Amino acid sequence: MASRAVRARRRRARQAVAYARAHSPYYRELHRALPDDIDDPARLPVTGKQALMARFSTVATAARFRRDHPRLGWLLREFSIDKPLPQLVAEPNRYKPSSLAGFSSMLGLLAREQEAGRLHIHPGMVIADGEALTAENRTRIASAFHAQVRSAYAATECGFLAYGCAHNWLHLDTDWVVLEPVDADQRPVPPGQPSHTVLLSNLANRIQPILRYDMGDNVLMRPDACPCGSPLPAVQVQGRAAELLEFPAGGDRHVRISPMAFGTLLDRVPGIAQFQVVQSAPATLRVRLTQADGADPDDVWRSVREEISRLLAEHKAEHVALERAVEPPEQSASGKFRRIIPLGR
């Protein structure tokens, strides 16, 4: 017999599907040949961003939270990463946040400011989301702030997918989320094997129904119990399928390398404050660097070039050219700092 939690999730799935059919012409047409009473999203057809874009609603922001909850709004503050670093540092210095959340790259930058004595806050918890949190960055943030560091898995389509534990796994909110790891042909991938992508069903969203939505994330489901003791399924996000760097390897062959491979590698290079690797041509990587205080730019570049060259050689991509950029790392229009940028992204 199914557990109470499973029965509740099936009920929510059934309600979400019924609501989507009743209120969305898109889903009504997409599901018209299906039975009326579906409580398992795996029986639904797959959809994606292109199909939903015309109907897509923006995610709630901190500003909206303050508008909708004026009595609670004082609890939440936004610090814009578009501001110059001294101003960005000054604002949390005034506010003294008890917890801190943001892109992992920006949290790492703030950790350096804390180490340098320009930032002096003492959050009890730091939550990294929006970007992969490397082990090196986690250690640096924890050491700088003397705080617990947790990662979160969230997206515009669902802001509460999973939350991290001390063992670097993300535990799914299975009460309201159905996540299906699949291969390139959208067949289920068993735990312990990395997926090509993952399909999301958000059972809570009635404004913009999200049912079997292809997120493009490579995930790995943990095949056994997590040592943290949580009974919830655990995943690790290994990157986005669309963000893998792909290099020509002769004929019709290509070499594909995860962005995390570059990030983990360069996190270990001393003297780097920030880096950004941009695939500017099919077989060219342009490396943007900001050196740490006191570091010699030429020494840092030599170390970076050696490490990337070694990684490329390990993947049989020695032919890829490396360029030393004169411009510093840049933020995207959305404000997210992308450390690895594949060609055409």
Number of domains in the chain: 3
What is the layout of strands, in order, in the sheet containing 125-129?
99-103, 125-129, 148-155, 158-164, 170-172, 234-240, 217-221
147 and 90 in one domain?
yes
- List the domain range (segments joined by +) for residue 23: 4-59+156-242
219 and 137 in one domain?
no
The pLDDT of residue 58 is: 31
Residue 30 and residue 76: Cα distance in Å, rounded?
Answer: 40
294 and 217 in one domain?
no
Last-in-domain residue among 108, 131, 151 = 151
The pLDDT of residue 259 is: 76
Residue 325 and residue 338: Cα distance in Å, rounded?
Answer: 16
Q: Which residue has the tokens 């493009």?
A: 216
Which residue intervals of the chain are DSSP H helices? 4-23, 25-30, 49-52, 62-68, 85-95, 104-116, 135-145, 259-267, 297-314
Contact in structure between 246 and 255 (CB atoms under 8 Å): yes
| Residues of the chain scoring pLDDT < 50 | 56-61, 334-335
**CB atoms inside a 10 Å sphere around CB 271:** 17
The pLDDT of residue 121 is: 96
Q: Tell me, what amino acid is at 262? A: F
215 and 83 in one domain?
no
Last-in-domain residue among 124, 151, 178 = 151
66 and 53 in one domain?
no
**CB atoms inside a 10 Å sphere around CB 194:** 15
Residue 177 and residue 191: Cα distance in Å, rounded?
Answer: 17
Summarize pLDDT for 61-71 with one digit per residue, the tens: 455 556 666 66
**CB atoms inside a 10 Å sphere around CB 106:** 20
- SS3 state at 211: strand
The residues with which 237 forms a beta bridge, in sequence order, are: 219
The CATH number linked to 286 is 3.30.300
The pLDDT of residue 239 is: 63
Summarize pLDDT for 217-254 with one digit per residue, the tens: 888 999 999 999 999 999 988 765 556 688 998 888 88
The pLDDT of residue 323 is: 97
- SS3 state at 267: helix
* Of 36, 41, 35, the residue nearest 205 (C-alpha): 41
330 and 252 in one domain?
yes
**How big, in percent rounded to 5, are the helix, strand and coil portions of the chain?**
30, 25, 40
The pLDDT of residue 223 is: 95
The residues with which 99 forms a beta bridge, in sequence order, are: 125
Contact in structure between 304 and 327 (CB atoms under 8 Å): no
253 and 231 in one domain?
no
Give the pair of three-digit tokens for residue 216. Answer: 């493009």
277 and 141 in one domain?
no
